[in-house]
Chains A and B, each alone.
Chain A
Amino acid sequence: MDAIDRLIMHHTQAGLPLTLEPYQTLAKQLGLDKQELMQRLQAMQDSGQIRRIAAVPNHYRLGYRYNGMTVWNVSDEHINTLGQHIGQLSFVSHCYHRPRHLPDWPYNLFAMIHAKTEPEAEQHIQQIKTVLGDACQEYTVLYSTKILKKTGFRSV
C-alpha cells in the first residue's frame, strides 16, 4: 500500500459521496484520475487489503441493542479449529485469537455477537458454548454500556 492508496483509504472511511458518479467525485477531490482510483480500489480488493466494499448497516440503529464481546478461554491446541467454527456463526461479526493476560485475563478467543433481545443474546452465547465444548473452561461476556468514540479507520 503506497501513499496514494493510503490517501484513498483515508478519504473513503467517512463514506463514498452519494453522487451519480461517486468514484469520479472522489477522484476529483483527491486530484486523481478516475480510472486510476478505481483500479487501485480493485487491486486492494484483489490483494485482500480491502475486505469488501459495502453499504455498512448501523446495527444498533436497526434494533441490535445487545452487542456483546464474548471472551473464552480455549485450549491452545484447539483454538484454530474452533475459532474457524465460531467465526462462521451467523450472529458473530468478528472473531479473533488474542493473547491472555494471566492471572486476571484467561480469555484468548474474542467473538462479537449481536442480538435484538437479551434472551436472543443468551441463546447465541449458549450456541458458542456448545461448539467449544470441553475445550473451553471459562468465559464471560462484556456488553458495551456506552460508545465513547467511534471514528477513523473502520474494519467493521
Chain B
Amino acid sequence: MTELVLTDLHKRLLNDFQRDFPLSERPYQAIAEQLGVSESTVLSALTELSQQQLISRVGPIIRPNHIGVSTLAAIAVPQAELETVANTISRYPEINHNYEREHELNLWFVVIADNNEQLAAVIASIEAETGYPVLQFPLLHDFYIDLGFNLDWQHVG
C-alpha cells in the first residue's frame, strides 16, 4: 500500500472532528459544508484515511464502566514465557487491550465484563491458566477532560 500524502483536507478531517462528529442524517454533508468542499470529497478522503489506518474509526467513544465493568490489570511474566502467556490472555473475549510494557510488570491488559462476578471469574481463570498472579488497577477517578488530542503535523511519518 502506498503511503498517503496528507492534504490540508486530510489534516482538518483528522484534527477537527475528534469531537462533535455530526449526529445528523447526512453527517459527511455537514462536514463538507463546514470545510467548503463537496460531500463526496469528504467521504473519499475519510475512506482513504480509514484504509491507510490513519483514523482507527469514526464513531462514539464510551465512558469507561458505562457498559459493564472493567479494570486495568497487569501481570509479571518471565520474558521466555511472555508470548505464550500473552496469547493465552488475548484469547479471552473479555480482554480488549493487551500491551507489553517495559517493566517487571510487563503485560498490561484491560478486562471488560458484564458484572463484578464475571470480572472476578475471568481474573481467577487467567491466574489459574497462567500460574501468575494478576494485579488489578480499577479506575478510582477519571481526571481526563476528553476533547480529543491536538495533532502536531511536524514529522508526520
Residues A52 and B64 in contact, CB atoms below 8 Å apart? no
Residues B67 and A6 in contact, CB atoms below 8 Å apart? yes
Complex Cα distance, B106 from A140, in Å, reads: 13
The residue of chain A having its C-beta at the shortest distance from the C-beta of B21 within the complex is: A53
Residues A96 and B46 in contact, CB atoms below 8 Å apart? no
Q: How many residues of A contact B (CB 8 A)?
A: 76
**Residue among B14, B15, B146 with the most chain A CB within 10 A?**
B146
Complex Cα distance, B10 from A58, in Å, reads: 13
The answer to whether residues A59 and B140 also contact, given A15-B57, A54-B58 and a CB cut-off of 8 A, is no
The reply on B129 being an interface residue by CB < 8 A is no
Residues of A within 8 A of B59 (CB): 12-16, 53-54, 56
Residues A51 and B67 in contact, CB atoms below 8 Å apart? no
Residues A142 and B18 in contact, CB atoms below 8 Å apart? no
Residues B103 and A50 in contact, CB atoms below 8 Å apart? no
- B interface residues, Cβ below 8 angstroms from A: 13-15, 17-21, 23-29, 39, 43, 46-47, 49-50, 52-64, 66-67, 72, 86, 90, 93, 95-105, 107-109, 112, 135-152, 154-157
Q: A18-B50, A52-B21 are in contact. List 10 more A-B contacts (CB 8 A).
A: A24-B25, A51-B146, A52-B61, A53-B23, A56-B55, A95-B144, A104-B104, A142-B108, A153-B112, A154-B56
